[in-house]
Structure 1
Amino acid sequence: MITTKDLRQLALSFPEATEEPHFEKTSFRVKKKIFATHDTNNNRLTIKLSEADQDLFSLIDKSMIYPVANKWGKQGWTIVELSKVSEEVLKDALATAYCEVAPKKLADMVRNEE
């Protein structure tokens, strides 16, 4: 199971990533743009993906990774159930979300590590 500590460590491992409050959640950002929010009460992560990446990750298991069920979901916001996801899939999903919002130079740094 992914712990809050594990998630924080992974999200903050990306270049220039920061952690800030976002309403009742914790957000992870790069250059002030949110790439993920963590809802500790529901053990759920919401990440920003492109439509294509959202479709691709949802194919893994629709009970584990799925679009937010409103207009935000149509904009790529995707829920990850932390109690169901493996560390490997989470790392890939977070990296993809980070690269979706990060400036090209920072995103390329992450892509080149993979």
Structure 2
Amino acid sequence: MTVDEFRTLALSLPLSIEKPHFERASFRVDAPRGKTIATLLDSNATANVFLSPEEQDILIGADPSVFSKVPNKWGDKGATTLQLANCDETTALSALKMSWRHAAPPKHHSLLE
């Protein structure tokens, strides 16, 4: 998967917008109390999504060539890196949807299929 393909997927989620976040692009839920869905670092073709620690463990266990824990305190809370070169669209979209559910206010959850 390319950086541009990931960007397109992230922006396809309901209420998703792109904003700068330091050296990364961030994708956020554009709603009151909406949070970050993912960040994207073009220079090394990685993205971070924000999952529960349990979801993180499941994804890393299922495919450690794609998923890894962010090596800091955010990783302990579920922040998970995707190696885009090893990731297909279905896998990336699944991870993005998991992250979106954590980022979106509950009243918007019905917007996601």
TM-score using structure 1 length: 0.90
Gaps of 5+ in 1: none
Deviation at 1:109, TM superposition (A): 2.1
Kindly report structure 1 stretches of 4+ aligned residues shifted beyond 3 Å. none
* 2:101 alignment counterpart: 99
Deviation at 1:23, TM superposition (A): 0.2
* 2:37 alignment counterpart: 35
* 2:21 alignment counterpart: 22
Q: Secondary structure at the match of 2:86?
A: coil
Deviation at 1:4, TM superposition (A): 2.5
Q: How far, CA to CA, are the matches of 1:105 and 1:10 in structure 2? A: 22
Q: Secondary structure at the match of 1:62?
A: coil
What is the aligned length? Answer: 110
Q: How far, CA to CA, are the matches of 1:74 and 1:53 in structure 2? A: 12
Give yes or no for the alignment of 1:66 onto 2:65: no
- What is the identity percentage for the equivalent residue pairs of Structure 1 and Structure 2? 37
What root-mean-square deviation, in Å, do the aligned CA atoms of Structure 1 and Structure 2 show?
Answer: 1.2
TM-score using structure 2 length: 0.91
